[in-house]
């Protein structure tokens, strides 16, 4: 079991450790004496990952209107004006 606080793990490291713990718990590979510690570690990692996902979602929700505004104005500026050659016969 890692002693590294979940917040100091990369997202991938945290997910991998959580997968390892859940596999151990599901397969009954955890010693009874270590069961509570492994279960607590899994909960700590899950809470940290949930917080990261919530913060990322909030940031995306905050930035999305800016992207929409840029896409709308960039789309207008990027499109050349229609000419007679562009018109169908």
Per-domain residue ranges of the chain: 8-74
pTM of the model: 0.71
Other C-beta atoms within 10 Å of 21: how many?
20
Instruction: Grade residue 18 by pLDDT with cuts at 50, 70 and 90.
Output: very high
Rounded CA separation 18/21 (Å): 5
Which tokens belong to 48? 């940290």
Which pLDDT score, from 0 to 100, does residue 30 have?
A: 84
Distance, in Å, from the CA atom of 85 to the CA atom of 33, rounded to the nearest integer, reads: 79
36-47: average pLDDT: 96
Locate 18 and state its tokens. 């959580």
Residue 4's nearest CA partner among 22, 23, 17, 21 is: 17
How far apart CA 22 and CA 29 sit, in angstroms, is: 10
pLDDT the model gives residue 76: 54
Separation between Cα atoms, residue 75 and residue 80, nearest integer Å = 10
Q: Tell me, what's the pLDDT at 53?
A: 97
Q: What is the DSSP letter of 1?
A: -
Confidence of residue 89 (pLDDT cuts 50, 70, 90): very low
Amino acid 2: pLDDT: 77
């Amino acid at each position: 079991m890692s002693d590294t606080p979940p917040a100091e793990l990369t997202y991938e490291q945290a997910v991998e450790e959580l997968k390892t713990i859940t596999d151990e718990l599901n397969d009954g590979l955890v010693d009874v004496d270590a069961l509570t510690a492994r279960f607590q570690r899994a909960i700590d990692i899950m809470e940290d990952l949930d917080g990261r996902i919530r913060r990322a979602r909030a940031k995306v929700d905050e930035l999305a209107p800016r992207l929409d505004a840029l896409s709308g104005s960039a789309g207008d500026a990027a499109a050349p004006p229609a000419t007679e050659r562009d018109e169908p016969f």
